[in-house]
């Protein structure tokens, strides 16, 4: 039975630029949809922050997105999903999807040995959200975790390659391998980390599957639109708005690595007044 069309936007939130990896996959799979993305770059990283602070910041950002007349919210931030998903759902009149459960599903589908690992922010690791979600999906799996506190600041600074990021990733993976040398599947449990995926894959080796939640989150959003909501009707000409609470130029430097010339003008958002002003033309 057709539900008609719904041309309201899908809201996507992240603590910074990392959620653009999810937005990119959503755009690829759902070309008829309108999207509005908000990165809270002014207060990134969320990983080291107390859970209560993460919830407060997430709710402030979500309030802005809800003001954009969205039909669905995607928390494309693992730390925000781990600490604030239930709180956001309690405040939202539209469905809210996080990235933890889709990532857990991806891990269970990829592993052959039953030994999996998650690299994430300190906040996500401390929450145990991925261990719980993976165990719920398949209680027979052995799950190792590794906090990687230096990686989000490096990505936000635009360091996606080079000595510092190579050494940081190598150090974290040494600790992870020492904890469980039988790991055959590595989940990038932070949406910033896919921007470093080539480094993770090279360090883990071809025998280890490196997965993230961007693809499975996009599939889950597609399923939700078909089951409960309705798709857009743009005929393959969907649109995207991108906004940040931080400096626009710094955001653009990293965002263009993903979107190139397809990156729209980035808006600067003042969460205090819940208004957005367009960035100065370049």
Neighbours of 170 (CB within 10 A): 12
Catalytic option among 97, 119, 190, 204 = 190
Joined together, the tokens standing for residue 259 give 């979107």
Dihedral sign, Cα of residue 108, residue 165, residue 181, residue 202: positive
| Residue 213 CA from chain centroid, whole number | 8
DSSP state of 160: -
Question: Number of C-alpha atoms within 13 angstroms, CB side, residue 154?
Answer: 20
Report phi then psi at 37, rounded to 5: -115, 135
The CA distance from 129 to 232, in Å, is 32
Instruction: Check 23, 77, 165, 199 and give the catalytic one.
Output: 77
CA distances (Å), origin 207, targets 142, 149, 241? 18, 26, 38
Structure tokens at 128: 């145990």
Q: Across-strand partners of 169?
A: none
Specify whether the backbone of 41 is left (phi greater than 0), alpha (psi in -120 to 50) or beta.
alpha
Handedness of CA 91, 255, 250, 237 (dihedral sign): negative
Please state, in angstroms and rounded to a whole number, the distance separating the CA atoms of residues 47 and 5: 38
Please indicate whether residue 148 is annotated as part of the active site: no
In this structure, the dihedral spanned by the alpha carbons of residues 172, 199, 153 and 115, taken in order and rounded to 10 degrees, is: -40
Give the residue numbers marked as catalytic: 77, 190
């Amino acid at each position: 039975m057709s539900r008609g069309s719904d041309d309201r936007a899908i809201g996507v939130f992240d603590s910074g630029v990392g959620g653009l990896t999810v937005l990119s996959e959503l755009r690829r799979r759902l070309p008829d949809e309108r999207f509005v993305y908000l990165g809270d770059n002014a207060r990134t990283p969320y990983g080291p922050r107390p859970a209560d602070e993460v919830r407060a910041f997430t709710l402030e950002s979500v309030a802005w997105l809800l003001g954009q007349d969205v039909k669905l919210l995607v928390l494309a931030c693992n730390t925000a999903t781990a600490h604030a998903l239930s709180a956001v759902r309690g405040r939202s009149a539209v469905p809210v999807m996080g990235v933890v459960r889709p990532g857990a599903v991806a891990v269970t589908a990829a592993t052959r040995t039953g030994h999996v690992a998650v690299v994430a922010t300190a906040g996500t690791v401390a929450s145990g959200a991925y261990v719980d979600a993976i165990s719920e999906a398949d209680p027979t799996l052995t799950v190792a975790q590794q906090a990687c506190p230096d990686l989000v600041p490096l990505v936000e600074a635009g360091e996606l390659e080079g000595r510092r990021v190579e050494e940081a990733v190598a150090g974290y993976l040494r600790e992870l391998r020492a904890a469980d040398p039988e790991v055959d599947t590595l989940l990038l449990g932070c949406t910033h980390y896919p921007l470093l995926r080539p480094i993770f894959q090279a360090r883990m080796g071809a025998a280890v599957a490196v997965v993230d939640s961007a693809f499975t989150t996009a599939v889950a959003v597609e399923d939700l639109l078909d089951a409960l909501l309705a798709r857009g009707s743009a005929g393959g000409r969907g649109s995207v708005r991108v906004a940040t609470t931080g400096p626009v130029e710094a955001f653009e430097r990293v965002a263009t690595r993903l979107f190139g010339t397809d990156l729209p003008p980035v808006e600067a958002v003042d969460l205090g007044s819940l208004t957005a002003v367009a960035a100065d033309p370049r």
